[in-house]
Structure 1
Amino acid sequence: MARPPQHTGFQPLDREGLVQRVATLLSKAIVTGQLAPGARLSESVVARELGVSRAPVREAARLLENSGLVTYHANRGFFVRETSAEALNDLYELRMVIEIAAAQRVLRHGLTDTIDRLAAQIDVLHEVAAAGADMLTQVEADMEFHRLLCSGSGNPKFLHVFEQIAAETEFSIMVIGRLYDDPHKIAETHEPIVNALRHGDEVATREAIRYHIGVAQELVTRQFRDVEAGTAER
Protein backbone atom coordinates (compact mmCIF):
# COMPACT_ATOMS: atom_id res chain seq x y z
CA MET A 1 0.00 0.00 0.00
CA ALA A 2 1.32 3.44 -0.96
CA ARG A 3 2.45 5.70 1.85
CA PRO A 4 0.61 9.01 2.31
CA PRO A 5 2.70 12.03 1.20
CA GLN A 6 5.03 13.60 3.77
CA HIS A 7 4.23 17.03 5.15
CA THR A 8 6.64 19.54 6.68
CA GLY A 9 4.31 22.51 7.19
CA PHE A 10 5.95 24.80 4.61
CA GLN A 11 3.84 27.39 2.76
CA PRO A 12 4.06 28.24 -1.00
CA LEU A 13 6.50 30.94 -2.17
CA ASP A 14 6.52 33.40 -5.07
CA ARG A 15 9.48 33.52 -7.48
CA GLU A 16 11.45 36.50 -6.11
CA GLY A 17 14.81 35.52 -4.63
CA LEU A 18 13.66 31.93 -4.70
CA VAL A 19 16.82 29.97 -3.98
CA GLN A 20 17.91 32.18 -1.08
CA ARG A 21 14.42 32.20 0.40
CA VAL A 22 14.19 28.41 0.19
CA ALA A 23 17.63 28.16 1.80
CA THR A 24 16.55 30.50 4.61
CA LEU A 25 13.40 28.48 5.29
CA LEU A 26 15.29 25.20 5.32
CA SER A 27 18.03 26.66 7.50
CA LYS A 28 15.52 27.81 10.12
CA ALA A 29 13.74 24.46 9.97
CA ILE A 30 17.04 22.70 10.70
CA VAL A 31 18.20 25.13 13.40
CA THR A 32 14.87 24.91 15.24
CA GLY A 33 14.69 21.12 14.98
CA GLN A 34 11.74 21.02 12.57
CA LEU A 35 14.07 18.96 10.40
CA ALA A 36 16.00 16.70 12.75
CA PRO A 37 19.69 15.72 12.47
CA GLY A 38 20.03 12.77 10.13
CA ALA A 39 16.69 13.40 8.42
CA ARG A 40 16.58 13.11 4.64
CA LEU A 41 15.86 16.39 2.88
CA SER A 42 13.33 15.29 0.28
CA GLU A 43 13.53 17.66 -2.68
CA SER A 44 10.15 16.55 -4.00
CA VAL A 45 8.35 17.03 -0.67
CA VAL A 46 9.87 20.47 -0.04
CA ALA A 47 9.24 21.56 -3.65
CA ARG A 48 5.61 20.45 -3.51
CA GLU A 49 4.87 22.20 -0.23
CA LEU A 50 6.59 25.42 -1.27
CA GLY A 51 4.94 25.38 -4.68
CA VAL A 52 8.23 25.45 -6.61
CA SER A 53 10.17 23.13 -8.88
CA ARG A 54 12.86 20.82 -7.49
CA ALA A 55 15.68 22.88 -9.06
CA PRO A 56 15.65 25.81 -6.56
CA VAL A 57 15.30 23.35 -3.68
CA ARG A 58 18.38 21.49 -4.90
CA GLU A 59 20.32 24.75 -5.26
CA ALA A 60 19.24 25.81 -1.77
CA ALA A 61 20.39 22.47 -0.41
CA ARG A 62 23.80 23.07 -2.00
CA LEU A 63 24.00 26.41 -0.18
CA LEU A 64 23.20 24.67 3.10
CA GLU A 65 25.86 22.08 2.33
CA ASN A 66 28.39 24.91 2.08
CA SER A 67 27.22 26.30 5.44
CA GLY A 68 27.60 22.91 7.13
CA LEU A 69 23.92 22.20 7.80
CA VAL A 70 23.39 19.39 5.32
CA THR A 71 25.50 16.70 3.69
CA TYR A 72 25.11 15.02 0.34
CA HIS A 73 25.31 11.25 -0.12
CA ALA A 74 25.69 9.97 -3.68
CA ASN A 75 22.56 8.26 -5.02
CA ARG A 76 20.73 9.03 -1.77
CA GLY A 77 20.37 12.81 -1.68
CA PHE A 78 20.74 15.49 1.00
CA PHE A 79 20.55 14.82 4.73
CA VAL A 80 20.50 17.13 7.73
CA ARG A 81 23.98 17.02 9.17
CA GLU A 82 24.67 15.11 12.36
CA THR A 83 27.39 17.04 14.16
CA SER A 84 29.58 16.13 17.13
CA ALA A 85 31.13 17.82 20.11
CA GLU A 86 34.54 17.55 18.46
CA ALA A 87 33.30 19.23 15.27
CA LEU A 88 31.76 22.03 17.30
CA ASN A 89 35.01 22.49 19.20
CA ASP A 90 36.77 22.98 15.85
CA LEU A 91 34.05 25.41 14.76
CA TYR A 92 34.51 27.65 17.79
CA GLU A 93 38.27 27.53 17.35
CA LEU A 94 37.85 28.87 13.81
CA ARG A 95 35.48 31.60 15.02
CA MET A 96 38.04 32.72 17.58
CA VAL A 97 40.73 33.14 14.92
CA ILE A 98 38.46 35.05 12.54
CA GLU A 99 36.93 37.38 15.10
CA ILE A 100 40.22 38.27 16.77
CA ALA A 101 41.62 39.17 13.35
CA ALA A 102 38.49 41.20 12.55
CA ALA A 103 38.72 43.11 15.84
CA GLN A 104 42.40 43.84 15.32
CA ARG A 105 41.55 45.33 11.94
CA VAL A 106 38.81 47.49 13.49
CA LEU A 107 41.37 48.94 15.90
CA ARG A 108 44.22 49.36 13.44
CA HIS A 109 42.00 51.18 10.95
CA GLY A 110 40.17 53.26 13.56
CA LEU A 111 36.73 51.96 12.56
CA THR A 112 34.78 53.66 15.35
CA ASP A 113 31.46 53.32 13.49
CA THR A 114 31.81 49.56 13.83
CA ILE A 115 32.35 49.88 17.59
CA ASP A 116 29.21 52.04 17.81
CA ARG A 117 27.20 49.40 15.96
CA LEU A 118 28.51 46.69 18.27
CA ALA A 119 27.49 48.73 21.33
CA ALA A 120 24.02 49.25 19.84
CA GLN A 121 23.68 45.51 19.27
CA ILE A 122 24.37 44.86 22.95
CA ASP A 123 21.38 47.10 23.68
CA VAL A 124 19.36 44.93 21.29
CA LEU A 125 20.49 41.82 23.16
CA HIS A 126 19.27 43.32 26.44
CA GLU A 127 15.96 44.28 24.81
CA VAL A 128 15.50 40.77 23.48
CA ALA A 129 16.23 39.35 26.94
CA ALA A 130 13.83 41.77 28.65
CA ALA A 131 11.08 40.88 26.19
CA GLY A 132 11.42 37.18 27.03
CA ALA A 133 12.06 36.33 23.38
CA ASP A 134 12.32 32.73 22.25
CA MET A 135 15.69 30.99 22.04
CA LEU A 136 16.07 31.40 18.28
CA THR A 137 15.56 35.17 18.50
CA GLN A 138 18.18 35.37 21.27
CA VAL A 139 20.66 33.30 19.29
CA GLU A 140 20.12 35.34 16.12
CA ALA A 141 20.66 38.59 18.05
CA ASP A 142 23.84 37.13 19.56
CA MET A 143 25.17 36.08 16.17
CA GLU A 144 24.36 39.50 14.71
CA PHE A 145 26.89 41.05 17.11
CA HIS A 146 29.62 38.80 15.71
CA ARG A 147 28.41 39.34 12.16
CA LEU A 148 28.70 43.11 12.67
CA LEU A 149 32.24 42.67 13.95
CA CYS A 150 33.26 40.72 10.85
CA SER A 151 31.38 42.91 8.37
CA GLY A 152 32.63 46.09 10.04
CA SER A 153 36.27 45.02 9.85
CA GLY A 154 36.50 46.18 6.25
CA ASN A 155 37.74 42.76 5.10
CA PRO A 156 34.89 40.99 3.26
CA LYS A 157 36.67 37.64 3.55
CA PHE A 158 36.07 37.61 7.30
CA LEU A 159 32.34 38.05 6.74
CA HIS A 160 32.32 35.41 4.00
CA VAL A 161 33.84 32.80 6.30
CA PHE A 162 31.62 33.85 9.20
CA GLU A 163 28.48 33.41 7.10
CA GLN A 164 29.61 29.91 6.20
CA ILE A 165 29.72 28.87 9.85
CA ALA A 166 27.01 31.08 11.41
CA ALA A 167 24.12 28.70 10.76
CA GLU A 168 26.05 25.76 12.15
CA THR A 169 26.80 27.77 15.30
CA GLU A 170 23.12 28.65 15.71
CA PHE A 171 22.23 24.99 15.16
CA SER A 172 24.61 23.83 17.89
CA ILE A 173 23.13 26.22 20.45
CA MET A 174 19.55 25.30 19.53
CA VAL A 175 20.33 21.60 19.90
CA ILE A 176 21.50 22.04 23.50
CA GLY A 177 18.62 24.43 24.22
CA ARG A 178 20.41 27.25 26.05
CA LEU A 179 23.75 28.76 27.00
CA TYR A 180 22.86 30.68 30.17
CA ASP A 181 19.91 30.52 32.56
CA ASP A 182 19.63 34.33 32.52
CA PRO A 183 19.23 35.67 28.95
CA HIS A 184 20.71 39.02 30.03
CA LYS A 185 23.96 37.13 30.60
CA ILE A 186 24.26 36.71 26.83
CA ALA A 187 24.30 40.50 26.42
CA GLU A 188 26.65 41.05 29.33
CA THR A 189 29.27 38.64 27.98
CA HIS A 190 29.75 40.92 24.95
CA GLU A 191 30.38 44.09 26.96
CA PRO A 192 34.10 43.50 27.72
CA ILE A 193 34.76 43.24 23.96
CA VAL A 194 33.23 46.64 23.26
CA ASN A 195 34.90 48.20 26.30
CA ALA A 196 38.31 47.00 25.13
CA LEU A 197 37.64 48.27 21.61
CA ARG A 198 36.57 51.67 23.01
CA HIS A 199 39.90 51.94 24.82
CA GLY A 200 41.83 50.99 21.69
CA ASP A 201 43.55 48.20 23.61
CA GLU A 202 44.44 45.45 21.16
CA VAL A 203 45.69 43.01 23.80
CA ALA A 204 42.60 43.46 25.99
CA THR A 205 40.34 43.12 22.93
CA ARG A 206 42.03 39.90 21.89
CA GLU A 207 41.74 38.45 25.38
CA ALA A 208 38.10 39.56 25.70
CA ILE A 209 37.17 37.77 22.46
CA ARG A 210 39.24 34.74 23.39
CA TYR A 211 37.47 34.53 26.75
CA HIS A 212 33.99 35.21 25.32
CA ILE A 213 34.19 32.61 22.57
CA GLY A 214 36.20 30.23 24.76
CA VAL A 215 33.47 30.16 27.43
CA ALA A 216 30.81 29.54 24.79
CA GLN A 217 33.02 26.84 23.26
CA GLU A 218 33.32 25.08 26.60
CA LEU A 219 29.61 25.36 27.41
CA VAL A 220 28.41 24.22 24.00
CA THR A 221 30.78 21.29 23.64
CA ARG A 222 30.22 20.10 27.22
CA GLN A 223 26.44 20.27 26.90
CA PHE A 224 26.57 18.69 23.46
CA ARG A 225 28.55 15.78 24.89
CA ASP A 226 25.74 15.39 27.43
CA VAL A 227 23.23 15.31 24.55
CA GLU A 228 25.36 12.71 22.75
CA ALA A 229 25.60 10.61 25.92
CA GLY A 230 21.84 10.77 26.44
CA THR A 231 21.23 9.70 22.84
CA ALA A 232 23.66 6.79 23.18
CA GLU A 233 21.90 5.53 26.32
CA ARG A 234 18.49 5.37 24.62
Structure 2
Amino acid sequence: MIPIPSSSGFQPLDREGLVQRVARLLGKAIITGQLAPGARLSESVVARDLGVSRAPVREAARLLENSGLVTYHANRGFFVRKISAEELDHLYELRIVIELAAARRMIDQGQPEPVAALAAQLQALHRVAAPGVDMLTQVEADMQFHRLLCSGSGNPKFLAVFDQIAAETEFSIMVIGQLYDDPLKMAETHEPILDALQAGDAPRAEAAIRYHIGVAREMVTRQFRDLETGAG
Protein backbone atom coordinates (compact mmCIF):
# COMPACT_ATOMS: atom_id res chain seq x y z
CA MET A 1 0.00 0.00 0.00
CA ILE A 2 1.41 3.38 -1.04
CA PRO A 3 0.19 6.18 1.27
CA ILE A 4 -0.64 9.61 -0.11
CA PRO A 5 2.00 12.16 0.97
CA SER A 6 1.28 14.09 4.19
CA SER A 7 0.98 17.21 2.03
CA SER A 8 -0.34 16.80 -1.50
CA GLY A 9 0.50 20.30 -2.64
CA PHE A 10 -3.10 21.19 -3.48
CA GLN A 11 -4.37 24.73 -2.87
CA PRO A 12 -7.67 25.59 -1.10
CA LEU A 13 -10.88 25.87 -3.17
CA ASP A 14 -14.07 27.88 -2.82
CA ARG A 15 -17.47 26.16 -2.62
CA GLU A 16 -18.64 26.55 -6.25
CA GLY A 17 -18.80 23.25 -8.09
CA LEU A 18 -16.80 21.74 -5.28
CA VAL A 19 -17.21 18.02 -5.91
CA GLN A 20 -16.53 18.33 -9.64
CA ARG A 21 -13.50 20.52 -9.04
CA VAL A 22 -12.05 18.13 -6.47
CA ALA A 23 -12.65 15.26 -8.88
CA ARG A 24 -10.86 17.11 -11.68
CA LEU A 25 -7.88 17.88 -9.46
CA LEU A 26 -7.58 14.32 -8.22
CA GLY A 27 -8.15 12.92 -11.71
CA LYS A 28 -5.35 15.07 -13.13
CA ALA A 29 -3.06 14.03 -10.27
CA ILE A 30 -3.74 10.37 -11.09
CA ILE A 31 -3.40 10.76 -14.87
CA THR A 32 -0.11 12.65 -14.57
CA GLY A 33 1.33 10.21 -12.06
CA GLN A 34 1.35 12.55 -9.06
CA LEU A 35 -0.73 9.87 -7.38
CA ALA A 36 0.68 6.48 -8.37
CA PRO A 37 -1.29 3.28 -9.04
CA GLY A 38 -2.03 1.65 -5.70
CA ALA A 39 -1.77 4.90 -3.74
CA ARG A 40 -4.37 5.39 -1.02
CA LEU A 41 -6.51 8.52 -1.29
CA SER A 42 -6.56 9.83 2.26
CA GLU A 43 -9.78 11.83 2.53
CA SER A 44 -8.47 13.73 5.54
CA VAL A 45 -5.20 14.76 3.89
CA VAL A 46 -6.83 15.83 0.63
CA ALA A 47 -9.60 17.67 2.49
CA ARG A 48 -7.07 19.49 4.64
CA ASP A 49 -4.91 20.55 1.69
CA LEU A 50 -7.91 21.75 -0.32
CA GLY A 51 -9.51 23.50 2.61
CA VAL A 52 -12.77 21.54 2.38
CA SER A 53 -14.61 18.97 4.44
CA ARG A 54 -14.18 15.26 3.82
CA ALA A 55 -17.67 14.90 2.29
CA PRO A 56 -16.90 16.48 -1.13
CA VAL A 57 -13.62 14.56 -1.28
CA ARG A 58 -15.51 11.32 -0.72
CA GLU A 59 -18.08 12.25 -3.41
CA ALA A 60 -15.28 13.16 -5.81
CA ALA A 61 -13.65 9.79 -5.17
CA ARG A 62 -16.95 8.11 -6.05
CA LEU A 63 -16.99 9.99 -9.37
CA LEU A 64 -13.45 8.83 -10.08
CA GLU A 65 -14.50 5.30 -9.20
CA ASN A 66 -17.19 5.53 -11.90
CA SER A 67 -14.60 6.73 -14.43
CA GLY A 68 -12.28 3.81 -13.67
CA LEU A 69 -9.45 5.71 -12.00
CA VAL A 70 -10.19 4.80 -8.38
CA THR A 71 -11.29 1.64 -6.62
CA TYR A 72 -12.88 1.25 -3.19
CA HIS A 73 -11.88 -1.40 -0.66
CA ALA A 74 -14.27 -1.98 2.23
CA ASN A 75 -12.93 -0.75 5.57
CA ARG A 76 -9.79 0.55 3.86
CA GLY A 77 -10.93 3.40 1.65
CA PHE A 78 -10.23 4.58 -1.89
CA PHE A 79 -7.11 3.67 -3.86
CA VAL A 80 -5.74 4.68 -7.24
CA ARG A 81 -6.66 1.80 -9.48
CA LYS A 82 -4.04 -0.52 -10.91
CA ILE A 83 -5.10 -1.18 -14.50
CA SER A 84 -3.96 -4.37 -16.18
CA ALA A 85 -2.98 -4.91 -19.82
CA GLU A 86 -6.01 -7.17 -20.28
CA GLU A 87 -8.37 -4.51 -18.96
CA LEU A 88 -6.87 -1.95 -21.33
CA ASP A 89 -7.22 -4.35 -24.23
CA HIS A 90 -10.93 -4.63 -23.41
CA LEU A 91 -11.19 -0.84 -23.14
CA TYR A 92 -9.68 -0.27 -26.59
CA GLU A 93 -11.92 -2.97 -28.05
CA LEU A 94 -14.93 -1.08 -26.67
CA ARG A 95 -13.61 2.19 -28.11
CA ILE A 96 -13.38 0.63 -31.57
CA VAL A 97 -16.99 -0.56 -31.38
CA ILE A 98 -18.29 2.82 -30.20
CA GLU A 99 -16.32 4.95 -32.63
CA LEU A 100 -17.14 2.75 -35.63
CA ALA A 101 -20.83 3.15 -34.83
CA ALA A 102 -20.39 6.89 -34.28
CA ALA A 103 -18.64 7.35 -37.63
CA ARG A 104 -21.33 5.40 -39.51
CA ARG A 105 -24.07 7.44 -37.87
CA MET A 106 -22.28 10.73 -38.58
CA ILE A 107 -21.98 9.85 -42.26
CA ASP A 108 -25.59 8.65 -42.47
CA GLN A 109 -26.81 11.95 -41.03
CA GLY A 110 -24.73 13.96 -43.49
CA GLN A 111 -24.46 17.02 -41.26
CA PRO A 112 -21.42 19.24 -42.03
CA GLU A 113 -21.04 20.77 -38.55
CA PRO A 114 -19.60 17.69 -36.76
CA VAL A 115 -17.06 17.13 -39.54
CA ALA A 116 -16.06 20.80 -39.43
CA ALA A 117 -15.54 20.50 -35.66
CA LEU A 118 -13.26 17.50 -36.22
CA ALA A 119 -11.28 19.44 -38.84
CA ALA A 120 -10.78 22.28 -36.35
CA GLN A 121 -9.68 19.83 -33.68
CA LEU A 122 -7.18 18.25 -36.05
CA GLN A 123 -5.64 21.69 -36.49
CA ALA A 124 -5.48 21.96 -32.69
CA LEU A 125 -3.70 18.59 -32.58
CA HIS A 126 -1.06 19.93 -34.97
CA ARG A 127 -0.63 23.07 -32.88
CA VAL A 128 -0.01 21.20 -29.62
CA ALA A 129 2.54 18.96 -31.34
CA ALA A 130 4.94 21.91 -31.12
CA PRO A 131 8.12 21.62 -29.01
CA GLY A 132 7.65 22.48 -25.36
CA VAL A 133 3.97 21.50 -25.14
CA ASP A 134 3.42 19.07 -22.28
CA MET A 135 2.27 15.54 -23.00
CA LEU A 136 -0.99 15.82 -21.08
CA THR A 137 -2.10 18.70 -23.31
CA GLN A 138 -1.33 16.58 -26.38
CA VAL A 139 -3.19 13.56 -25.01
CA GLU A 140 -6.21 15.69 -24.08
CA ALA A 141 -6.29 17.16 -27.60
CA ASP A 142 -6.18 13.63 -29.01
CA MET A 143 -9.05 12.51 -26.82
CA GLN A 144 -11.08 15.60 -27.70
CA PHE A 145 -10.96 14.58 -31.38
CA HIS A 146 -12.48 11.22 -30.51
CA ARG A 147 -14.97 12.83 -28.14
CA LEU A 148 -16.15 15.09 -30.98
CA LEU A 149 -16.54 12.02 -33.17
CA CYS A 150 -18.85 10.44 -30.61
CA SER A 151 -20.65 13.72 -29.95
CA GLY A 152 -21.09 14.37 -33.66
CA SER A 153 -22.87 11.06 -34.12
CA GLY A 154 -25.98 12.58 -32.55
CA ASN A 155 -26.37 9.60 -30.22
CA PRO A 156 -25.78 10.80 -26.64
CA LYS A 157 -25.27 7.23 -25.44
CA PHE A 158 -22.08 6.94 -27.50
CA LEU A 159 -20.79 10.11 -25.91
CA ALA A 160 -21.76 9.00 -22.40
CA VAL A 161 -19.86 5.73 -22.73
CA PHE A 162 -16.86 7.49 -24.26
CA ASP A 163 -16.73 10.01 -21.42
CA GLN A 164 -16.85 7.15 -18.92
CA ILE A 165 -13.73 5.50 -20.36
CA ALA A 166 -11.80 8.58 -21.54
CA ALA A 167 -9.93 9.06 -18.26
CA GLU A 168 -8.71 5.45 -18.30
CA THR A 169 -7.40 5.94 -21.83
CA GLU A 170 -5.57 9.14 -20.90
CA PHE A 171 -4.16 7.44 -17.82
CA SER A 172 -2.84 4.48 -19.81
CA ILE A 173 -1.00 6.71 -22.29
CA MET A 174 0.50 8.88 -19.56
CA VAL A 175 1.75 5.81 -17.68
CA ILE A 176 3.69 4.45 -20.67
CA GLY A 177 5.06 7.92 -21.43
CA GLN A 178 4.19 8.27 -25.11
CA LEU A 179 2.71 6.51 -28.12
CA TYR A 180 4.95 7.99 -30.80
CA ASP A 181 8.50 9.35 -30.75
CA ASP A 182 7.33 12.45 -32.64
CA PRO A 183 4.21 14.21 -31.23
CA LEU A 184 3.35 15.30 -34.78
CA LYS A 185 2.74 11.64 -35.61
CA MET A 186 -0.18 11.62 -33.16
CA ALA A 187 -1.82 14.42 -35.13
CA GLU A 188 -1.10 12.85 -38.51
CA THR A 189 -2.67 9.52 -37.57
CA HIS A 190 -6.07 11.25 -37.34
CA GLU A 191 -5.94 12.61 -40.89
CA PRO A 192 -7.22 9.45 -42.69
CA ILE A 193 -10.25 9.40 -40.37
CA LEU A 194 -11.12 13.00 -41.14
CA ASP A 195 -10.50 12.56 -44.88
CA ALA A 196 -12.91 9.62 -45.01
CA LEU A 197 -15.58 11.44 -43.00
CA GLN A 198 -15.30 14.50 -45.23
CA ALA A 199 -15.75 12.24 -48.27
CA GLY A 200 -18.72 10.47 -46.67
CA ASP A 201 -16.97 7.16 -47.27
CA ALA A 202 -18.14 4.86 -44.47
CA PRO A 203 -15.98 1.80 -45.33
CA ARG A 204 -12.85 3.96 -45.54
CA ALA A 205 -13.72 5.73 -42.28
CA GLU A 206 -14.24 2.40 -40.52
CA ALA A 207 -10.93 1.06 -41.83
CA ALA A 208 -9.12 4.23 -40.70
CA ILE A 209 -10.64 4.04 -37.21
CA ARG A 210 -9.85 0.34 -36.85
CA TYR A 211 -6.25 0.99 -37.84
CA HIS A 212 -5.82 4.16 -35.75
CA ILE A 213 -7.23 2.76 -32.50
CA GLY A 214 -5.82 -0.68 -33.23
CA VAL A 215 -2.26 0.66 -33.37
CA ALA A 216 -2.74 2.48 -30.07
CA ARG A 217 -4.30 -0.65 -28.57
CA GLU A 218 -1.30 -2.76 -29.55
CA MET A 219 1.25 -0.20 -28.30
CA VAL A 220 -0.44 0.45 -24.97
CA THR A 221 -1.23 -3.15 -24.08
CA ARG A 222 2.23 -4.36 -25.10
CA GLN A 223 3.96 -1.78 -22.92
CA PHE A 224 1.62 -2.49 -19.99
CA ARG A 225 2.41 -6.21 -20.29
CA ASP A 226 6.11 -5.29 -20.21
CA LEU A 227 5.49 -3.26 -17.06
CA GLU A 228 3.61 -6.17 -15.49
CA THR A 229 6.44 -8.61 -16.21
CA GLY A 230 9.19 -6.17 -15.32
CA ALA A 231 10.47 -6.05 -18.88
CA GLY A 232 9.68 -2.36 -19.36
Question: TM-score, length-normalised on structure 1?
Answer: 0.95
CA distance in 2, matches of 1:122, 1:227: 31
1:169 aligns with 2:169: yes
CA distance in 1, matches of 2:75, 2:59: 17
Q: Superposed, which structure 2 residues align to 1:130-149 within 5 Å?
A: 130-149=130-149
Tell me, yes or no, if the aligned pair for 1:111 and 1:153 is still in contact at 8 Å. no
TM-superposed deviation, 1:227: 1.8
2:27 corresponds in structure 1 to 27
1:108 corresponds in structure 2 to 108
Q: Superposed, which structure 2 residues align to 1:33-44 within 5 Å?
A: 33-44=33-44
1:49 corresponds in structure 2 to 49
TM-superposed deviation, 1:229: 2.1
1:215 aligns with 2:215: yes
1:91 corresponds in structure 2 to 91
Structure 1 outlier segments of 4+, above 3 Å:
none
Residue 154 of structure 1 aligns to which amino acid in structure 2?
A: G
Deviations for 1:91-136, whole angstroms, at most 9, x for unmatched residues?
0000001111111111011121111111111111110012431111
CA distance in 1, matches of 2:37, 2:219: 20
CA distance in 2, matches of 1:168, 1:53: 27
Tell me the C-alpha RMSD between the 2 structures: 1.2
Unaligned runs of 5+ in 1: none
2:190 corresponds in structure 1 to 190
SS of the residue corresponding to residue 154 of structure 1 reads: coil
CA distance in 1, matches of 2:124, 2:133: 11
Unaligned runs of 5+ in 2: none
Question: TM-score, length-normalised on structure 2?
Answer: 0.96
CA distance in 2, matches of 1:21, 1:193: 33
Residue 9 of structure 1 aligns to which amino acid in structure 2?
A: G
CA distance in 1, matches of 2:92, 2:174: 15
Residue 79 of structure 1 aligns to which amino acid in structure 2?
A: F
SS of the residue corresponding to residue 130 of structure 1 reads: coil
Q: Aligned pairs, how many?
A: 228
TM-superposed deviation, 1:204: 0.7
